[in-house]
Amino acid sequence: MAAAVAVSGAKRSLRAELKQRLRALSAEERLRQSHLLAQKVFTHNEYQKSKRVSIFLSMPDEIETEEIIKDIFRQGKTCFIPRYQLQSNHMDMVKLASPEEIALLPRTSWNIQQPGEDEVLEEALSTGGLDLIFVPGLGFDKQSNRLGRGKGYYDAYLKRCLQSQDVKPYTLALAFKEQICLQVPVNENDVKVDEVLYEDS
């Protein structure tokens, strides 16, 4: 029990430190690293062979994903985006019809754009699963551990993927180099990602 409390305290202080680091990033630097990562994604073997891709719509302190989303449609892949249930840690990945649709999506109280709760959309796991999941996060280490924002949405979703599809989706995290930590504190509920992409990776 004491260990769990220690991990949660360590996560809290690391989250605060990372948020500060991210606030210090200029808009130009954010876009420079985002563009560089998009190029890495386009040549990535897992991206090239995937047909069904889930990607997050970026918040101001995350790698900008718009360029990748446009390419997913250009390549004729199927694109899914998260729809969070704010009152729980349940998240679905729902199909996005076109990149233009993003501008019309309502914003949640967290200021995240996502389709409305009542909108009936194709959900990835009920129609064939996912090949590749782009995973957001606040911090990562070189052992592929991830520090999320504390709600557990992605950890829970990745566990659901394992139960509902035969082949595990490849998980690729997109990070600013400022988000790479020496060691991310983890507990037994935290799911590692397969790979963390950042400028020097």
Residues marked as binding? 11-15, 57, 62, 146-154
Q: Which residues are annotated as a binding site for substrate?
A: 57, 62
Q: How far apart are CA 192 and CA 194, in angstroms?
A: 7
Instruction: Provide the phi-psi class of 76: left if phi over 0, else alpha when psi is between -120 and 50, else beta.
Output: left
Print burial letters for 30-66: b (CB count within 10 Å at least 16), e (below 16). beebbeebbeebeebebbeebebbbbbbbeebbbbbe
Helix axes 27-42 and 66-74, enclosed angle (nearest 10): 30
Q: How far apart are CA 152 and CA 149, in angstroms?
A: 8
Q: Which two tokens stand for residue 80?
A: 């899914």
CB 108 within 8 A of CB 84: yes
Q: How far apart are CA 124 and CA 88, in angstroms?
A: 19
Q: Which residues are annotated as a binding site for ATP?
A: 11-15, 146-154
